Each structure stands twice: as C-alpha cells, then as structure tokens.
Structure 1
Amino acid sequence: MQNGQAGYPKLPADHPFRKHSQNLSTLVSGLRQAERIHKQMIRQGDAPGIAFSRRMHSLMVGMIAEARLRKITHDPNGFNERERTLVAGSKSQIDRWKSAVDFAFRRQYAVPMHLEIQDSGVDPAVISRHGIIIEMLDGDLRPIIEGRNKTAHGQWVWELNNSETSFKGRAAEPMNYLAISRRGEVIDNLAEIVHILIVSEPAFQREFDRLYGKISSLRCTIDGNDYPQFEANIRSSGRPRIHPEMKDEGC
C-alpha cells in the first residue's frame, strides 16, 4: 500500500489512481525538503526560521494526509464510484476520513446503511477495531488537519471562529520537529490500515495488530517532549543523532 504502483501494471497512465499517486509522491518529496530546511534552521539556532519551518513542516504533513486519502479512495481494487462520491461529499477532511472508514467496514462486513456499525451484530472484535480507528482519526489526524487549515488561512497568531466573524483567542504554538514527524508517521500507518481495510478484509485482519502496534509505540513520545535533547544533538554535531533515551523502549 505504499506510494509505488507495482501491483497495478494494467492501469492506463491517465487513471485517477495513478494521478493521485503521483501527486502524493511529489508531496512526499516536498516533505523531505521541508524536513531538511527545518533541521538546518535548528542547527543554526535561527528562532524565526524555526518558527516558520514548524508551520511549513506541519502544513506538508497535512497536505500529504489529504492527498493520501484521495489515492486510497481511488484504488481500483476498493471503492466503487458511488462510494467515492459519498466520501468526497463529506463536509470536512476529517469527516471524509471517517466516511471512508465507515463505508469500508460496511463493504467488508456487509453492514447495511440503516444500521450503526456498533449495533449491526458483527463480531465484537470488528466493532472494537472500528472504534479504535475512529479514535485515532480524532486524536492523531484531526490536530494536523486543523492546524494545516489555520496555517493555510493565515491564522498564525490569532484564531478565527468558523464563520470568520470574530477571534476565538491566540493560536497555539506550532509543534516542534519531533512532534510533527511522529504524527506524520502515525498518519502514514493509520492511512495504511484504512487502505488495507478498503481493499482486502483478510489483509486487514492480518495486518491490523502490526500497524496498530507501530502507532502505539510512536504515541509514547508523540508530543515531542524529548525535543530539547534532539535540538542539542543537532547543534552540537552538525547532524541529528538520536539520544539513547529517545529510542523506542515502550511506554
């Protein structure tokens, strides 16, 4: 389910899945540039440069999440055109992700539209996984998406309400390099879970625990509280090094 398309050799060059895949691949390349510049600003101790790079770095992760969903929903082995249209019709990006998950569970476990998934009588393990994915979308993806929107709309110091008629308060400080990077990794794994769910129920059953385990490990340090040591390592060595205390040893 990665960016390559080795499993789709017969798709025409102008197939939407290929085009969305190319968009995603280009954005991922852009993310690598944003990461490189962000580290350079840290290395130089350039406070304004760091603040700007944090916003651009986070913006790239949010744009990648949006592009990844488009690719996922256009996989020819997954949704039909009606399902894609319904997902695209959701009001917000986070609602589109949730709709994709909802339709995927209904598709794979034959849950009719008039029933809630938790009331459909499917296996409790399936219901639990549905709840876990929705919780991850709200907890891990939503902050990146909402932060991207505020950054793209110029709300860097003061936040506006949804109708943009008044100010809600001061904008949150942008996340640091590690918090952004780890959320990006969580979103990558979460997107892979959703993609697999859409195209193959047996693969979903097989891969869910592995991918969820990776997400759980990342969540231990997702807020980037170990950033000061990371920053010190970059400035002292000229390149980022992972401090022993930053290695994944579980929560």
Structure 2
Amino acid sequence: MSTSVNMYNYHVENLRGLDKAIKDIQYVTKQSIRSGNTQKNLDSFKRIYTFLIAAWAETRLDKLLCEMHTFSDSAINIIKNQDSQLHKWLKAVELSFKQHHNITSKKLTKDNIGQIHFDRFKALEGVLKNELKAIIEVRNKLAHGQWLYPLNRKSNAVSTNIYQALNNENHLSLMFKFNIIKNLSDIVHNLVISLPTFERDFSQIFGKIENAQRNLLNRKYEDYVQKLVENSANGKLNLDM
C-alpha cells in the first residue's frame, strides 16, 4: 500500500510531467503558428492544451491535499467528496479561511473573518467560478470524446455555451488562463500552509492574476500571431506573451 509520502511524491512527479507536456504543446503550437497555420488548423493543439490545463489544476489540488500541515483528515474528506473539481477547489478555499480564523459556522462573512479577508475570499471564489470553471467544463466534454461538439447532460443536443467557449479559445487566451490558474494555486497554497506568507504575498500574486485577466480582454490574437511571425523572421524564437 502506498504511504502518504509516496502519494505526495506521485503527485509531484505527475505535476512535473504535466508541466513538461504543457511546455511541449506550447512549443509545437508556436512553431505551427510561425509556419503560417491558421487558427482553424490549430484546433487539435487547442483542445489538447485545454485538457492539459484542467489536468494540471486537478493534480495541483491533489498535491496540496497530500502536503504536511495543511488540512485535517476530516477536511480533506470533505474536499474530496465534492461532486466536481470546481467544487473541490471552492471548498478548499473556503475551509482554508475557516481554518485560519477558527470558524466552524457554515458561512463566511465579513463579520467573522473581517472585511479584508472576506474581500479576498470572494475574489478567489470569483476567479475559480470564471476562468477555472470554463476550463474544467470544456475538459470534461473532451474527455468523453466530444471533441468537436460538446453535448448537454442528456446528450440529446449540443451544449451551446461550452461549444462557443471552446471555439472562442486560442493559444494566447489559454496561456493567460493557465497563468491565472497557476497564480491562483500559489495563493491557495500560501493560505493553507502559512497565513503570514499569504498576507505578505497576496497583493503581488493577485496582481498577476488581474494583469492576466486584463490581457484576456485586451490582447488580440491576431497581433500575437503577427508578432510571432515577425520574430521568427528576425530569428527570435523565444517570445512568450
């Protein structure tokens, strides 16, 4: 039987493997863009990238739950028993705040954790319900073979919202969303492991999330493609974002 230490190491190695896979798909996609392939021709890469980001988020939470001095066994069971990856992340954030404020009540409010922490709690919740939720929903459809047409729960019609969400994604938007999810996981990790570290670093890390969110709204994929092609022509192959 695997020990908790072994399970933690497995999650660490899985996360490293996913990091490498994401870097590989980023590299291949950029090379394909530089070669002149249109966004439509990159659809398979986009779907693989989306799948990997969601898998990374799931594994990152698994790793967190295996770390020493995080949650109690009962809290871990509560998180694991949530019905979706999104709800697991939401519950992990909620229980983290409750743990640090010694709260047993069902609801977090500005009165029991203070206005500043309540605002931070709602901000993290908002990121989870937006960027992470969208990635998870698309991944679930892809995992069930709904590669081009995601279906609704009854599998009797196309899920219009998820279909549109997937087709609106591109390599640039997925890079920003992965950046958001990575920084979000760092904040949650700090919250669980060390409240002083959370307090010290929250504004800096959340600022990175807000910057990525602004880029999602303002950065144009067409401009990104043009810049990649121009840099390729000039021999500069390491442009990220």
How high is the TM-score relative to the length of structure 1? 0.84
Q: Give % identity.
A: 25
CA deviation profile, 1:94-128 (whole Å, cap 9, x unmatched): 0000010111111111111x331116522111111
CA–CA distance in structure 1, aligned partners of residues 52 and 72 of structure 2: 29
Per-residue CA deviation, residues 19-38 of structure 1 (Å, 9 max, x unaligned), is 21111111101111111111
Using a 3 Å threshold, how does the CA distance of structure 1 residues 55 and 174 change in structure 2: closer, same or farther?
farther
Give the 5 Å matches for 1:1-251: 14-47=5-38, 49-112=41-104, 114-118=105-109, 121-169=112-160, 171-172=163-164, 173=167, 175-223=169-217, 225-238=219-232, 239=237, 241=239
User: Which stretches in structure 1 are left out of the alignment for 5+ residues?
Assistant: 1-11, 247-251
2:192 maps to amino acid: I
CA contact (8 A) 1:17 1:76 kept: no
Contact in 2 for aligned 1:179/1:224 (Cα 8 Å): no
Residues 111 and 120 in structure 1, CA contact (< 8 A), matched pair in contact too: no
Greater Cα offset, 205-214 or 167-176: 167-176
CA RMSD of aligned residues (A): 2.1
Task: Kindly provide the amino acid, as one letter, of the partner of residue 23 in structure 2.
Answer: R
Q: Distance in 1 between matches of 2:112 and 2:227?
A: 53
Question: Which structure has the highest helix share of the two?
Answer: 2
SS of the aligned residue for 1:69 comes to helix
Q: Distance in 2 between matches of 1:38 and 1:216?
A: 25
Paired with 1:200 and 1:176, the residues of 2 have a C-alpha distance of 36
State the Cα distance separating 1:91 from its structure 2 match. 0.3
Provide structure 2 residue ranges, at least 5 long, that are not aligned to the other structure. Answer: none
| 143 and 194 in structure 1: CA distance in 2 versus 1, 3 angstrom threshold | same
Q: Which amino acid aligns with 1:160?
A: L
Amino acid at match of 1:226: K
Judge which range, 66-75 or 49-58, deviates more: 49-58
- Match of 1:132, as an amino acid? A
| Distance verdict in 2 for CA 1:88–1:132, change over 3 Å | same
